[in-house]
């Protein structure tokens, strides 16, 4: 099993950031669980069994939630030792978290592990820690852990900032000269859902899913209440918070249509996967956020990848490391997906946020319009890259737009660039795309002596133009003339004259290639003249140049009596060239693209 990225072992210094553009710093830093509060969901465990124990299950266990339904679900595994341990917990349901492992898969090992993962719900009066200890003692239990809440990493702020500065900051307009995205590339927005009939987003949506199932009577964090659709899974991932819709509009939005806002991509498709639901601050009802469980997030990741998502955007996080999410992300990476996740909004010294700190995830921090780390953006050695995250204008539910700040807003800028990269080169793996994002980022540091990467900015600000150019290098278009035929001159021994070098021709109205005469000295006999064939005229559309074909002819030895003299040959003759060997080295000169691959180039 992969090990987690190490959390930051020290605080990162640097320039002090002030609150900008109306961002309420205190509000952005506050978690719904409060400082030191618990994010553990009462009455729930995640249990994974080893292969042998999973194979011995005799009970029929469904996948998906049973708690919001009238029918009663199973409360047993059909494995005696495990059922005996669960009996004292007053278990209310046992459900499979993921579908069965396929017969063949790119991520067969990861899928097999996930197929043995279950969610167990029990009486909330029982301590979760006590329940974990009881189940952990049973032979065949691979791991047991609490189910934990996750939350969004943004809240709305000042609506007066005048423009979408983030797109220019990441060089998106320059990248659009190469690609504006492909409808074949799907980005999963694993979040609070998306406003399904938003005029700027609706035409770009593919079918999604609502994974949220907190039960009929969930226990919210103190001071908050749940609202809206929070129980029972279905295929209507409608946003009731606005967060997922804002994230989606940054990734992809109908653009160049004189309406509303633009997205990083214009044509890539959006897959709404709802894993967070609406939660409201009772004392301040305008404080509306999104929250959900690690189990539902893991199920959403699996569902998105299995339904064709190439890029996953996770603008959410929590402070507890869970194996259930680790397994889901490992599965997504093994299937070739790019996983982008927000670093979190608790600033310097904030606790490590997951899933950003999991292996192979592209962890995204936030900067402001002056290239400074946003004061709320968390830091650490696992940060990969940063993106615009202060006063980001994008779509919101109810067919509108607004500005939000947070690492939640920075992450979709990076996910959008990943989608552009795949749009121009769909053969890349997720790992290759992630590496391109890091290696082409514009380096940022607080002081000149800071290394790159560093704990505040990672490799720097995502650069759409550089990333696209790296993934899809421009080919310098030139006309190339290669001498493909061998001419023979017969002296005493047969000599070969081979044209080994290509000549680049800059096209003009006409380009004349002429071959001057050469004199071959064959001692001791008098020299003989070998004449080149007629000139070849090439008609092209640009200024002309004249290229001449130099060659050096050397006889293999003196001419003896009766030997024929040199033969006259034409550059267009092929009779003397048939069946002559051509080395692999020679063919390199005929490759029209040899030596012309690069990140950037001129037409």
351-360, 446-455, 581-590: segment of lowest average pLDDT: 581-590
Active site residues: 191, 243, 408
Give the separation between CA 443 and CA 439, rounded to whole angstroms.
Answer: 9
Contact partners, residue 83, CB within 8 Å, separation at least 6:
76, 77
- CA 506 – CA 522 distance, rounded (Å): 37
Q: What is the pLDDT of residue 18?
A: 33
pLDDT single digits (tens) 470-502: 999 887 655 555 544 444 444 444 444 444 444
The closest alpha carbon to 553, from 570, 566, 538, 542, belongs to 566
pLDDT digits (tens, 9 = 90+) for 64-98: 654 344 345 689 999 999 999 998 899 998 988 88
Rounded CA separation 225/280 (Å): 5
Q: Is the pLDDT of residue 375 over 80?
A: yes
pLDDT at 511: 47
Closest to 43 in 3D by CA, of 151, 150, 147, 117: 147
pLDDT at 64: 63
Give the model's pLDDT for residue 470: 96
Contact 395, 260 (CB under 8 A): yes
Cα torsion 17, 18, 24, 27: sign: positive
Higher pLDDT, 226 or 492: 226
In tens, the pLDDT along 497-541 reads 444 444 454 444 444 454 444 444 444 544 445 454 554 544 444
SS3 544: coil
pLDDT at 15: 36
**How far from 128 is each of 44, 131, 149, 329, CA to CA, in Å?**
7, 5, 14, 25
For residue 60, the SS3 value is coil
DSSP label at 509? S
DSSP letters, 121-145, are EE-TTS-HHHHHHHHHTSTTEEEEE
What HEC string does 457-486 produce? CECCECCHHHHHHHHCCCCCCCEEECCCCE
Give, for 172, the enclosing helix (H) or strand (E).
Answer: helix 172-176
Return the CA Rg of the chain: 33
How high is the mean pLDDT of the chain?
78
Domains with residue ranges and CATH for the chain = 40-148 (3.30.70), 149-167+188-417 (3.40.50.200), 479-590 (no CATH)
Q: What is the pLDDT of residue 19?
A: 34
Output the pLDDT for position 113.
84
3-class DSSP assignment, residue 324: helix
Lowest mean pLDDT: which of 4-18, 152-166, 187-201, 550-564? 4-18
Q: Is the pLDDT of residue 389 over 90?
A: yes
For residues 469 and 600, is the Cβ–Cβ distance under 8 A?
Answer: yes
Backbone φ, ψ for residue 584 (5° rounding): -60, -35
Q: What are phi and psi for residue 351, nearest 5 degrees?
A: -65, 150
- Top pLDDT among 105 and 383 is at 383
Q: What is the pLDDT of residue 63?
A: 74
| 119/541: higher pLDDT | 119
Average pLDDT over residues 236-246: 95
pLDDT at position 534 is 52
pLDDT of 561 above 50: no
- At residue 419, does pLDDT exceed 60? yes
For residue 347, pLDDT over 50 is answered with yes
Q: How confident is the model at residue 278 (pLDDT cuts 50, 70, 90)?
A: very high
| pLDDT score recorded for residue 107 | 73
Q: Which two tokens stand for residue 470?
A: 């790296």
pLDDT at 356 over 90: yes
For the segment 288-312, the average pLDDT, to the nearest whole number, is 96
With residues binned 3-state (H G I as helix, E B as strand, rest as coil), the percentages for the chain, rounded to 5, are 20, 25, 55
At residue 330's C-alpha, the angle toward residues 267 and 344, to 5°, is 70
Cβ(248)–Cβ(200) below 8 Å: no
Q: pTM, whole model, 2 decimals?
A: 0.72
Task: Reply yes or no on whether the pLDDT at 302 is more than 90.
Answer: yes
């Amino acid at each position: 099993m992969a090990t987690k990225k190490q959390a930051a072992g020290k605080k990162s210094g640097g320039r002090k950031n002030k609150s900008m553009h109306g961002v309420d710093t205190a509000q952005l830093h506050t978690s719904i669980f409060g400082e030191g509060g618990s994010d553990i969901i009462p009455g729930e465990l995640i249990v994974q069994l080893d292969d042998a124990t999973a194979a011995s299950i005799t009970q029929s266990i469904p996948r998906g939630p049973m708690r919001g339904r009238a029918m009663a679900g199973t409360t047993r595994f059909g494995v005696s030792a495990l059922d005996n341990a669960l009996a004292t917990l007053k278990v209310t349901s046992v459900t499979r978290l993921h579908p069965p492992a396929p017969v063949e898969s790119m991520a067969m090992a990861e899928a097999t592990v996930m197929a043995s993962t279950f969610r167990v719900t029990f009486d909330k009066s029982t301590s979760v820690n006590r329940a974990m200890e009881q189940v952990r003692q049973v032979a065949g239990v691979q791991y047991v852990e609490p189910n934990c809440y996750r939350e969004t990493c943004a809240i709305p702020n000042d609506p007066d900032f005048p423009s979408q500065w983030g797109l220019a900051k990441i060089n998106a307009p320059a990248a659009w000269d190469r690609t504006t995205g492909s409808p074949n590339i799907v980005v999963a927005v694993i979040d609070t859902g998306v406003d399904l009939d938003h005029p700027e987003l609706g035409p770009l949506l593919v079918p999604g899913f609502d994974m949220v199932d907190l039960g009929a009577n969930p226990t919210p964090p103190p001071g908050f209440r749940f609202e809206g659709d929070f129980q029972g899974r279905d295929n209507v991932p409608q946003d009731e918070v606005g967060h997922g819709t804002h994230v989606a509009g940054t990734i992809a939005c109908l653009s160049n249509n004189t309406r509303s806002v633009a997205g990083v991509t214009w044509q890539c498709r959006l897959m709404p996967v709802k894993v967070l639901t609406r939660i409201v601050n009772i004392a301040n009802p305008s404080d509306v956020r999104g929250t959900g469980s690690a189990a539902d997030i893991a199920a959403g990741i699996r569902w998105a990848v299995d339904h064709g998502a190439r890029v996953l955007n996770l603008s959410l996080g929590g402070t507890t490391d869970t194996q259930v999410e680790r397994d889901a992300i490992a599965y997504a990476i093994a299937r070739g997906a790019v996983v982008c996740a927000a670093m979190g909004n608790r600033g310097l010294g904030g606790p490590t946020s997951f899933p950003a700190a999991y292996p192979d995830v592209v962890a995204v921090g936030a900067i402001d319009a002056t290239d400074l780390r946003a004061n709320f953006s968390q830091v650490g050695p696992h940060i990969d890259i940063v993106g615009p995250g202060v006063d980001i204008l994008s779509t919101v539910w109810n067919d509108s737009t607004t500005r939000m700040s947070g690492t939640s807003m920075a992450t979709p800028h990076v996910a959008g660039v990943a989608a552009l990269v795949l749009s121009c080169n769909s053969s890349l793996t997720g790992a290759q795309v992630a590496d391109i994002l890091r290696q082409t980022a514009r380096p940022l540091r607080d002081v000149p002596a800071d290394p790159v990467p560093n704990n505040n900015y990672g490799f720097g600000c995502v650069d759409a133009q550089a990333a696209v150019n790296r993934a899809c290098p421009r080919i310098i278009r030139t006309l190339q003339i290669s001498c493909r035929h061998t001419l023979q001159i017969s002296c005493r021994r047969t000599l070969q004259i081979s044209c080994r070098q290509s000549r680049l021709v800059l096209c003009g109205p006409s380009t004349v290639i002429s071959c001057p005469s050469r004199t071959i000295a064959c001692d001791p006999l008098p020299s003989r003249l070998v004449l080149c064939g007629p000139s070849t005229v090439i008609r092209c559309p640009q200024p002309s140049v004249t290229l001449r074909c130099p060659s050096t002819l050397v006889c293999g030895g003196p001419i003896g009596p009766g030997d024929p003299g040199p033969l006259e040959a034409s550059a267009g003759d092929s009779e003397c060239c048939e069946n002559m060997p051509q080395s692999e080295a020679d063919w390199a000169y005929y490759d029209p693209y040899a030596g012309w691959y690069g990140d950037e180039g001129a037409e």
